[in-house]
Structure 1
Amino acid sequence: MPRLAVPLTESRIRALEPRATRYCVADGNGLVIEVMTTGTKVWRFRYSLHGKRQPLATIGDYRMISLRVARAKAQKYAEMVAQGISPVATARRDRGAESKADVLSEAADLYLATAMADKSDEYRRTTRRALDKDVLPAIGGKPISAVTADDIVAICERIKSRGSPKMALHTRNVVKRLYAYLMARQLATCNPAEVVPARSIASFDSRTRVLSGDEIGTMLRAIDASSIRRPLKLALHLLVLTMVRKSDLVESTWAEFDLDNAVWTIPAARLNSERDRLVYLPHQAVSMLRELHRAKASRNFVFPSVRGDDRPIARSTLNQAVKALGLEVEHFVLHDFRRTAATHLREIAQREDAQADASALASESLRQEDEAAEQRRNLLRWADFVDKQIEAGRQAVSSTV
């Protein structure tokens, strides 16, 4: 019985060293990589036709073709062989379609077509936008090896002059990843973006944004009145009420919820933690989750993708939904909900302490409450506070009509 090939990995391919004579390493399904005495690595396709072993068909230079793409080509050629067709002519045409990346614009095209192929739509879109808008117009025609750190700094300075330091840093990081890819494929010898410190492009103070009660009410009323999908409206409201991270919520599964006991158990594996986290749910959150459960479109995920495959919505979906609303809430990001809740809860607790009699027996009992009861009490306080902000805005509007 022939020995099965151990599938290759990108790191294993990069570690292959030249020998006195060229040699091949198999990946499987006819795909092999041939290592030349010069160190060049070439993808080949090994096959038999009509019962006879044929010469290797060349797929192309490893520097230009990723492992994923080479496997796809080998699969195509294997299907042709199964039909009794030689893949040689097709492989020759395919090689002609592979442009040699001499200048940065060609290298960027190769990067987007190979390294970006398995990334999310949003990730590919933001990467391409940074390249097309600022990088390639400035240095796309330069040879890969001619791009310098000064070029990267100049691009970042132009972006910063538009008042976008975060975008400048993002663009520098895109170029850094592009050159890391080119170096791995031996198309570049150094990374000009790597020597440009991030702190020289943008420095950001820790966020201190806290929404006022009026802003909370304005935002949630606008979300409720908007045309976005109902599950996204509930997700944004739940993000406010539960005070969890966005990824914790959008990736949650129904198995994590015990709605009868109003408890959400976030597994340690999802938190990269040593233990699970218990989130005690106010009755408002339970009501929203029951609505989602009645209309659930997935056996597993609370907020499934609308694409039909059983996976959650992307983390960026809620950001995009809020951005599309055009809310008049200045300098706000979704993560500010957690800081906002913590700040208002402290203020609520301080008001309650000021109103309480320090010698009252109730104070002693409150101090003796266990952690779970305290968490439940805080979440209910917060949910009630949010409800009041929403209702206060509605009353203000109705009084002016």
Structure 2
Amino acid sequence: MPQNELTDKFCQSAKATSGRKVDYFDTLVKGLVLRVSAGGTKSWYLVYGPPAKRQWLKLGSYPEIPLGGDRGARQRARDARAKVGDGGDPVADKKSLAVSQTVADLVENYVKRHASTKRSGDEIARRLRKNVSGRDADGKKLEDCSAGCIGEVKLSELHRRDITKAIDAVRDRGAHVEANRLFEDVRAMIRWARGRGDLDQNLVEGMRKPTETVERDRVLSVDEIRTMWGALADADMRESTRRVIRLCLVTAQRVGEVCGITVDELDLDAALWTIPPSRSKNKREHAVPLSPMAVKIIRDQLADVKALAERKGRAMPAFVLPGPGARAPVTGAAIAKAIKRDEVMKRGTATILGVEPWTSHDLRRSAATHMEELGISPFIIAHVLNHVSATKASITSRVYARYDYMREKREALELWADRLAGIVKGGAGVAPFGSMDAA
């Protein structure tokens, strides 16, 4: 029973030197133990009670739960010991909670305490509620929940086969990408719960994602863009949805970032849209110069939003592209559904708006590809796309180089918008840089 004044350095290097596991007792907080398994797994425990009735309370996993800090292992051990001193029994309390808690409770706890801090938090919450818990945020049963929902299963009885059931139900309806994303969400949730001590086992360890997906490389050709853009006006979807689709192609930005545009992110007089770090995928502020085409789309949308607000007698919403009720922006999932609803089958061939099926992200890829065909540098296109892997690849570019390439980004997006206008009208549009240089 080794005893040490535990430190971060010691915890990082601690190993099981003999047998299946070794327990290292802290000398600063009585009863705090770092248990190290032969496989290298490290867990925190609090040991309390007389030798004949020794109790082991799992506090969480290391390094998910650090040694120090307000929510670290030492503070958790002190809090638990205080309950014991008041006559409580933390182990019995934990068992009682595990018996009462369901998977639906875990989902809501995870969404509230962890997923909500992520940029994609709304999508994670939607997937977990629809496909795992089957309950909304108020605990009411969802009408469109998956057949594999396991929300009623008690955490104390949760098994790997339950997780498999939930994911298989999504895969079996042909939603392979959704199944893979759900698996990632569930894996993150289970690991989070184990790290906190809500679950004693990592139930997803060794499980593989349900479907091997091939990276998409769909790029709409000039003719396809012309056909799609022309058919968009008569598509069975809201006008705001049409504008999201157009903006994705014109600005080359992600559909979620387009959907969430707020009024205060825009300076239309300066033709600039600034995406804050909280909404950017890479958590970096991203300035998007707006071409005249993009500005017109946004101004038309704002005019419609203002007119509707006046008719309804309510304040102008903060969102440029509000969803139903104007309490939140339209979501990328709603745009994907609207696009998918337009898919038709004719003689065994599927089309969306008259061309081979496509997604909103394919529009971003198409814009980038056509900009490159215009002779725009891939480095500048990476700045337009806000791809940090390309623009901040070195320590020099990450730390020292602070030039924002605003002029080059504006030139690229305006050149692309001019080319797009030519495509839509059926003309030649704008010649590539190389052609102009040759002339």
TM-score of Structure 1 vs Structure 2, range by shorter chain: 0.5 to 0.7
- Superposition pairs of residues 1-400 of structure 1, within 5 angstroms: 16-18=79-81, 21=84, 23=86, 36-41=88-93, 62-63=97-98, 100=100, 107-111=102-106, 115=110, 123=124, 126-131=127-132, 133=146, 135=148, 147-148=159-160, 165-173=176-184, 175-176=186-187, 179-180=190-191, 183=194, 188-198=199-209, 201-268=210-277, 270-271=279-280, 276-297=285-306, 298-309=316-327, 311-326=328-343, 327=352, 329-330=355-356, 332-349=358-375, 372-392=406-426
Taking structure 1 as the reference length, the TM-score comes to 0.57
Q: Is the 8 A contact 2:98 2:155 kept in 1?
A: no
CA–CA separation in structure 2 for the residues paired with 1:158 and 1:291: 42
* Post-superposition offset of 1:241: 0.5
Structure 1: give runs of 5+ residues left out of the alignment: 1-8, 24-34, 43-59, 65-99, 102-106, 351-369, 394-401
CA–CA separation in structure 2 for the residues paired with 1:275 and 1:124: 23
Q: Is the 8 A contact 1:153 1:196 kept in 2?
A: no
Supply the AA of the counterpart residue of 1:213.
V
- How has the CA–CA distance of structure 1 residues 330 and 36 changed in structure 2, closer, same or farther, with 3 Å as cutoff? farther
Supply the AA of the counterpart residue of 2:103.
A
Q: Secondary structure at the match of 1:264?
A: strand
* Post-superposition offset of 1:240: 0.9
Q: Secondary structure at the match of 2:89?
A: coil
Deviation string, structure 1 residues 351-397 (Cα, Å, up to 9, x no partner):
xxxxxxxxxxxxxxxxxxx955543333233223323333349xxxx
Q: Secondary structure at the match of 1:295?
A: helix
CA–CA separation in structure 1 for the residues paired with 2:169 and 2:259: 36
- How has the CA–CA distance of structure 1 residues 177 and 195 changed in structure 2, closer, same or farther, with 3 Å as cutoff? same
CA–CA separation in structure 2 for the residues paired with 1:225 and 1:302: 22
- How has the CA–CA distance of structure 1 residues 113 and 374 changed in structure 2, closer, same or farther, with 3 Å as cutoff? closer
CA–CA separation in structure 1 for the residues paired with 2:274 and 2:167: 44
Supply the AA of the counterpart residue of 1:339.
R
Q: Is the 8 A contact 2:322 2:330 kept in 1?
A: yes
- How has the CA–CA distance of structure 1 residues 116 and 280 changed in structure 2, closer, same or farther, with 3 Å as cutoff? closer
Taking structure 2 as the reference length, the TM-score comes to 0.53
CA–CA separation in structure 1 for the residues paired with 2:279 and 2:185: 27
Q: Aligned residues: percent identity? A: 25
* Post-superposition offset of 1:189: 2.3
- How has the CA–CA distance of structure 1 residues 186 and 134 changed in structure 2, closer, same or farther, with 3 Å as cutoff? farther
CA–CA separation in structure 1 for the residues paired with 2:106 and 2:283: 38
* Post-superposition offset of 1:62: 4.2
CA–CA separation in structure 2 for the residues paired with 1:248 and 1:382: 20
Q: Is the 8 A contact 1:165 1:202 kept in 2?
A: yes
- How has the CA–CA distance of structure 1 residues 185 and 63 changed in structure 2, closer, same or farther, with 3 Å as cutoff? farther
CA–CA separation in structure 1 for the residues paired with 2:166 and 2:289: 48
The structure having more radius of gyration, on CA atoms, is 1
CA–CA separation in structure 1 for the residues paired with 2:281 and 2:181: 26
- How has the CA–CA distance of structure 1 residues 61 and 315 changed in structure 2, closer, same or farther, with 3 Å as cutoff? farther
Higher mean alpha-carbon deviation, 159-168 vs 382-391, is at 159-168
* Equivalent in the alignment of 2:135: none
Q: Is the 8 A contact 1:63 1:185 kept in 2?
A: no
CA–CA separation in structure 2 for the residues paired with 1:264 and 1:255: 9
- What is the alpha-carbon root mean square deviation over aligned residues? 4.4
- How has the CA–CA distance of structure 1 residues 277 and 148 changed in structure 2, closer, same or farther, with 3 Å as cutoff? closer
* Post-superposition offset of 1:121: 7.8
- How has the CA–CA distance of structure 1 residues 169 and 11 changed in structure 2, closer, same or farther, with 3 Å as cutoff? farther
Supply the AA of the counterpart residue of 2:265.
E
Q: Is the 8 A contact 1:267 1:277 kept in 2?
A: yes
Structure 2: give runs of 5+ residues left out of the alignment: 1-69, 133-144, 307-315, 344-351, 377-403, 428-439
